[in-house]
Each structure stands twice: as structure tokens, then as C-alpha cells.
Amino acid sequence: MEFKSLKNIESSFRQIRLFGIVFVAMCAVIVSVALVMVFNFAEKQREKIYVLDNGKSLMLALSQDMSQNRPAEAREHVRRFHELFFTLSPDKSAIEHNINRALILSDNSAYNYYSDFSEKGYYNRIISGNINQICQVDSVVCNFTNYPYTAVTYAKQ
């Protein structure tokens, strides 16, 4: 007497194990291909930068070398910081909003200036006097010869 049912169970188990191994292998191949494609896409996106044209229009600039666009990025960064930090309206929430945005673009020294101005009542005098303060940046000169980089801003207030 042969046990056909045991042979069928054993062959069924081998077949399920084979299907499982093939399924796991195919999943590994799909994940590997997806990772390669994602890294290639990310590398292509790193070659693109977006530049604001005097803070108005958004232009796409393709870059082969990051150091080519570093001066333009730095000048726009410094320009935007000065516009946010020194352009003030007689509204407390607007002042706080602009200052917080400017502090994101700067280091701890700008926060120290902000604290000093606040302690001296500078912002309260602007609010109580209903004064609009506007900063128009003429030019920004950056020195990239040694780190940390220095920048000189020429502006009208």
C-alpha cells in the first residue's frame, strides 16, 4: 500500500517552497531596480537649481558645477535676509513674522541683534510711531577666498 497522499503533500510543499523563493527573488529584483532608478533621479535633480530674478520670477538654472552658482546663491541669500530683517511695518505680527523668517536665514549673531533691538524698545517705537521702514538692497559683495565667507551689503533704508 502506497501513501499517495503523502507524496502529494510532499510535492505540494516543494512546489510552494519553490514559488515562495521565486516570489522573494522577484521582489528583491524589483526593489533593487527601483532603488537604482530613485538614486539616478535624485542625482539629476541635484544638478538643477532654481533662481529668483530679483525676488520676482522663478527661473530654472542647470548647473554642471555647484561652485559656479554659489556666488549668486550667496548674494540672493544675504539680500533676502536684509530685506526681511530691516523692512518693518507698524504691525507686531508682521514684524515677528519677518524677523522669524530672517532668523532662519542667519546665524546666532542676528538673533543677538534682534534681542538687543527688542530690549531697547526699537520695535515698540516703530509700532507706536506708526512707522514703515523699508530696506532696498543696492548690491551685495561676497568674498569667497577664505571660509567663513564675508559679505558686505549696500542698501538704503
Place of cell 519553490: 18
At residue 86, does pLDDT exceed 70? yes
Give 87-113 pLDDT, tens digit per residue: 888 888 888 999 999 999 888 888 999
What's the distance, Cα to Cα, between the start and end of the chain in Å? 104
Instruction: State residue 154's pLDDT score.
Output: 92
Q: How far apart are CA 27 and CA 146, in angstroms?
A: 50
Percent of the chain topping pLDDT 90: 26
Provide the 3-class DSSP secondary structure of residue 139: strand
Instruction: State residue 88's pLDDT score.
Output: 87
Average pLDDT, the chain: 84
Tell me how far CA of residue 43 lies from CA of 39, 40, 48, 63, 76, in angstroms. Answer: 6, 5, 9, 12, 24
Average pLDDT, integer, range 12-18: 87
Q: How far apart are CA 49 and CA 28, in angstroms?
A: 34
Instruction: State residue 119's pLDDT score.
Output: 92
Give 49-62 pLDDT, tens digit per residue: 666 666 566 665 55
